[in-house]
Amino acid sequence: MKKITANVYLDELQIDDIAAALVQQGFTQLAHFLPECLAEELLCEAQRLALSEFKPAGIGRNNSQQINSKVRTDSTLWLNGNSAPQQAYLDWMEQLRIGINRRLFMGLFDFECHYSHYSTGDFYQRHVDAFKEDTKQARSNRVLSTVFYLNPNWVQNDGGELLLYADEQVSPLLIVAPVFNSCMLFLSDRFPHEVLTSRRDRYSIAGWYRVNGHSAEHPDT
């Protein structure tokens, strides 16, 4: 396998297209998002760490987090940049943060993300990543959600699709197959979404760009 190469940069025209799509429709679907070698290394790391390091995914954040297998059954591991693939991915998403801020003045403050592993039979019911006009919610400073997929040779019968809804609509606005090296970005408080039951191992990196919900003297952590 080819190793990650240094000094790989996002194309400015790609960031232009991402920003335009976010303005026009609030979401964008991207193919071939990362250099292929980086996507392959992330998949290998996710598969290896899932054997021992991943934990059952919780609902909520910090002290309010709880496990609820009626809502979601996947397992996760937060990325901290302690490996070369993780740091390369975080650097890539940092480039995107800077590029979006320059174009849209969204005030994106930082980025957090975790690996997700859906075993056969796992799912995540419909939910939102942030709540409109509710500053008391722990997740209210998440403004832009990202989902990067790590699943080669995915076919329709494998399930595990992301369903994106427009507000309270019953029928999905978009059905997204978790295809290798593709990425979804969408405004966190505008689009309820769910993950359908997976019929094989499914890997992804779920992430959120956040704004600073406090002040420069007391930034979010």
221 residues of the chain, pLDDT tens digit each: 445 544 568 999 999 999 999 999 999 999 999 999 999 999 999 999 999 999 999 776 555 567 788 899 999 999 999 999 999 999 999 999 999 999 999 999 999 999 999 999 999 999 999 876 544 444 469 999 999 999 999 999 999 999 999 988 999 999 999 999 999 999 999 999 999 999 999 999 999 999 987 543 333 43
Nearest to 126 by CA among 162, 152, 82: 162
Buried b (16+ CB within 10 A) or exposed e, 153-184: ebeeebbbbbbbbeeeeeebbbebebbbbbbb
- As for how many domains the chain has, the answer is 1
First vs last C-alpha separation in the chain: 36
Is residue 219, in this structure, part of any structural domain at all?
no
Rounded to an integer, what distance in angstroms lies between the CA atom of residue 126 and that of residue 168?
11
Rounded to an integer, what distance in angstroms lies between the CA atom of residue 79 and that of residue 62?
16
Which domain covers residue 70, as residue numbers?
12-210
Nearest to 119 by CA among 170, 184, 79, 75: 75
CA 169 from chain centre, in angstroms, equals: 22
Is residue 159, in this structure, part of any structural domain at all?
yes
Is residue 163, in this structure, part of any structural domain at all?
yes
Q: What is the CATH number of the domain that holds 197?
A: 2.60.120.620
Is residue 197, in this structure, part of any structural domain at all?
yes
Instruction: Supply the pLDDT for residue 66.
Output: 73
Is residue 176, in this structure, part of any structural domain at all?
yes
Is residue 5, in this structure, part of any structural domain at all?
no
Is residue 3, in this structure, part of any structural domain at all?
no
The DSSP 8-state label assigned to residue 3 in this structure reads P
Is residue 6, in this structure, part of any structural domain at all?
no
Instruction: Supply the pLDDT for residue 2.
Output: 47
Buried b (16+ CB within 10 A) or exposed e, 72-107: bbbbbbebeeeeebbebbbebbeebbebbeebeebe
89: which 2 tokens? Answer: 């991915």
